[in-house]
Structure 1
Amino acid sequence: MTEKRITARAHTNIALIKYWGKRDEKLFLPMNSSLSLTLDAFYTDTTTSFLPESQEDIFILNGVTQEKKEQEKISAFIDLFREAAGISTKIKVESTNHVPTAAGLASSASAFAALGTSLNELTGMKMDKTTLSTFVRQGSGSATRSIFGGFVEWDMGTNSFDSCAKQIDDASWDIAMLTIPVSTDKKKLSSREGMKLTVETSAFYPAWVAQAGKDLHMIKEAIAAKDFIRLGEITEANGMKMHGTMLGAIPPFSYWEPLTVKVLQKVTEIRGQGLPCYYTMDAGPNVKVLCRKSQAAEIKQILDDTFPENLSIFSGVGQGAYLLTDIEKGRNE
């Protein structure tokens, strides 16, 4: 029992139709359904093992044992699996983020998706991916989508059991993304805090929820038709609407920095020169640029020449979360 070590990997995702707001804070049930693209450039590797002699869980992130507050957060998440599996043994979590933490690059998505995938195997639950997505959702809402690869929809559902994710397309049709790291510093206002403030105080928020459902329907049609231009237009408009809701909060806030605006302007300029590309942003200053994979190198060169101190990072389409041992078995998606 003590020698059983399970390692899983999960990739981040970038929401094209944003998740911004919860209708249930405890269960992480969203106000609206969302849709994302899983990215292969950023990921988290997590190993879990049993601690039969220990009185508490241990959480080690990037080689550093975490303080009590973070330990308790992880233990609460592990409890979901312990309760379902009917066990009480304490667990050691060793996690390495290949993503800057808390900088708007969705590190929590890959982190909880990797942890959930590892715990699913360690505890013997062996849930299917759809069911597993309802568990990891309770650690981080966006982790729901990182269980799958390609284009993934998180259906808001009606309760904790059907608020889950599913892959709607493998995105194998010339899709890529560039990330411009405007800042990888830890955010002053976390996504969770910003989201809560927006839901509770922004006059713009009700309109956001109403439009998000329409945007989701339209983007799914664009994906089904493999219409990249329409996909990009909807992505860009939806992301900016989300950030607009923050300006209507009390007090107003923004994750943008001066360089953020310059990058957005440059992307618009590149598009005007005949290279289709579209920006989006999560809760942070960093800009992601949706583009065709076949044109990514050319667009990247222009961005890197313009912002040499903030070199962009190329990402292809990522696969769903998997056990690292599955690579040898050919079971990875």
Structure 2
Amino acid sequence: MKTNFYNKSIEKYSITPNGVITSKSHSNIALIKYWGKHNNKIQIPLNSSISYSLGKVYTVTRLIYQEKKKKNNSSIRVFFSGKEKTSFLPKILKFFYRISFYCSYLRNFNFIIETSNTFPHSCGVASSASSMSALALCIMKMEKKLVPSLKEDFFFKKASFLARLGSGSACRSIYPGLVVWGHHQSIEGSNNLYAIPYPYEIHSIFTKIEDTILIIDDKPKKILSSKGHKLMNHHPYARERFKDANQNMNRLISILKRGEFQEFGELIEHEALTLHAMIMTSRPYFLWMKANTINVIHMVWDFRKQNNKNIYFTLDAGANVHLLYPIQEKTSIIKWIYSNLFFYCKKTIESFCL
């Protein structure tokens, strides 16, 4: 990766001493899952991944900056849905520390970060992806003020690069549509440092996919994803998992071109269950699925078999279920979901793949 994200020319530009920048960024749902990263503290994945960004599931962040009067450490305060959240501060401080080499101008300001979601936080709907990518976009808008000549391509590449240093999957939330992160020999331009829009042909059936999210558990996860990633470093089945993920990416490239929705669905279900199999066979092992997660999966399988419908599930690192289906079948499928699955969840979020 030859792009240099440290720009010394920033030093010769000025910016208003006080300002407010707002950005919105969407959550994403991975089809080929990233699980496991190199033990180097800079968020490098051990396998490539691909995701859809989600239309109605997003974070809005306001970055309020004020130039410092004295040469001391920057002050940062974080507010979530109107309430100050000191518990969020360690992660934010770690993020600012990691990006300080690439965004040295941040040291000259104090910040207030105000953020809110359209979905529950820390329950397995990729809140860290949307929140860290929204913050990264705010920072790049600040950099754009400093360097008005920044090209759009560089802006988004660096935003993705920065977002990755806050949360790995956040780098994929910078872009709409299908997005790839992690080097894969079959995908030109793919790399470990930032995500890229999927560069190849996509059949029209995959451009209008609905995603109904069943919130089975809206409480924060007891075990965060960051801990689960670390457990892959000594996982007994890690090597085979990474090999399988790379093979599945090759299969998906072909499926996306041919428009085979059944093959697509079977592949994403396999990936979801494989992710949770890795979680359940870690040392120490743990379980994110709830009883109603299992109930929903069996209901989906039975409905699909009996009615020949294109509805498939995927799971992120949590108990909640994403149901993906083509927009052409939305009327009958959404009716079935509300008639048969509402009992198993606390709420639903009707979204779509951007």
TM-score (norm. length: structure 1): 0.88
- Map 1:285-304 onto structure 2 (within 5 A): 285-304=319-338
Contact between 1:103 and 1:284, CA under 8 Å: does it hold in 2? yes
Q: Which runs of 5+ in 2 are unaligned?
A: 1-15, 186-190
Percent identity of equivalent pairs: 26
- Map 1:36-51 onto structure 2 (within 5 A): 36-51=51-66
Contact between 2:99 and 2:165, CA under 8 Å: does it hold in 1? no
Deviates more, 1:57-66 or 1:122-131: 122-131
CA 297–177 in structure 1, closer or farther in 2 if over 3 Å, else same:
same
Contact between 1:81 and 1:119, CA under 8 Å: does it hold in 2? no
Contact between 2:50 and 2:181, CA under 8 Å: does it hold in 1? yes
Aligned to 1:313: 349
Aligned to 2:228: 194
Q: 2:294 aligns with which of 256, 261, 270?
A: 261
- Map 1:162-201 onto structure 2 (within 5 A): 162-168=192-198, 173-197=207-231, 199-201=232-234
Q: Deviations over 1:229-255 (max 9, x none)?
A: 222121111111111112221232110
Q: Which has the higher helix share?
A: 2
CA 130–228 in structure 1, closer or farther in 2 if over 3 Å, else same:
farther
Aligned to 1:33: 48
2 CA distance for matches of 1:249 and 1:85? 37
TM-score (norm. length: structure 2): 0.83
Q: 1:110 aligns with which of 122, 130, 143?
A: 130
CA 221–118 in structure 1, closer or farther in 2 if over 3 Å, else same:
same
> What is the deviation of 1:99?
2.1
> What is the deviation of 1:224?
2.1
CA 22–302 in structure 1, closer or farther in 2 if over 3 Å, else same:
same
> What is the deviation of 1:15?
0.3
CA 248–81 in structure 1, closer or farther in 2 if over 3 Å, else same:
closer
Q: Which runs of 5+ in 1 are unaligned?
A: 319-333
Q: Deviations over 1:199-237 (max 9, x none)?
A: 144322221111000001111221122322222121111
Contact between 2:35 and 2:46, CA under 8 Å: does it hold in 1? yes
CA 235–308 in structure 1, closer or farther in 2 if over 3 Å, else same:
closer
> What is the deviation of 1:25?
4.4
Deviates more, 1:301-310 or 1:96-105: 301-310
CA 93–121 in structure 1, closer or farther in 2 if over 3 Å, else same:
same
| Paired amino acid for 1:314 | E
2 CA distance for matches of 1:290 and 1:278? 5
Q: 1:74 aligns with which of 74, 83, 92?
A: 92
| Paired amino acid for 2:210 | A
Aligned to 1:278: 312
2 CA distance for matches of 1:266 and 1:2? 57
1 CA distance for matches of 2:207 and 2:80? 35
2 CA distance for matches of 1:138 and 1:249? 25
Contact between 1:300 and 1:312, CA under 8 Å: does it hold in 2? no
1 CA distance for matches of 2:273 and 2:40? 24
For the residue of structure 2 that corresponds to 1:29, the secondary structure is coil
Contact between 1:24 and 1:30, CA under 8 Å: does it hold in 2? no
1 CA distance for matches of 2:112 and 2:28? 26
1 CA distance for matches of 2:207 and 2:20? 37
CA-based RMSD of the aligned residues comes to: 2.3
Contact between 1:177 and 1:296, CA under 8 Å: does it hold in 2? no
- Map 1:71-150 onto structure 2 (within 5 A): 71-87=89-105, 88=107, 89-124=109-144, 126=150, 127-150=154-177
Within the alignment, does 1:236 sit opposite 2:272 as a pair?
no
Contact between 1:44 and 1:114, CA under 8 Å: does it hold in 2? yes
Aligned to 1:321: none
> What is the deviation of 1:162?
4.9
Larger Rg over CA atoms? 2
Within the alignment, does 1:206 sit opposite 2:239 as a pair?
yes
Deviates more, 1:9-18 or 1:164-173: 164-173
Contact between 2:59 and 2:130, CA under 8 Å: does it hold in 1? yes
For the residue of structure 2 that corresponds to 1:223, the secondary structure is helix
Aligned to 1:62: 81
> What is the deviation of 1:142?
0.7
> What is the deviation of 1:146?
0.4
- The number of aligned residues is 315
> What is the deviation of 1:21?
0.6
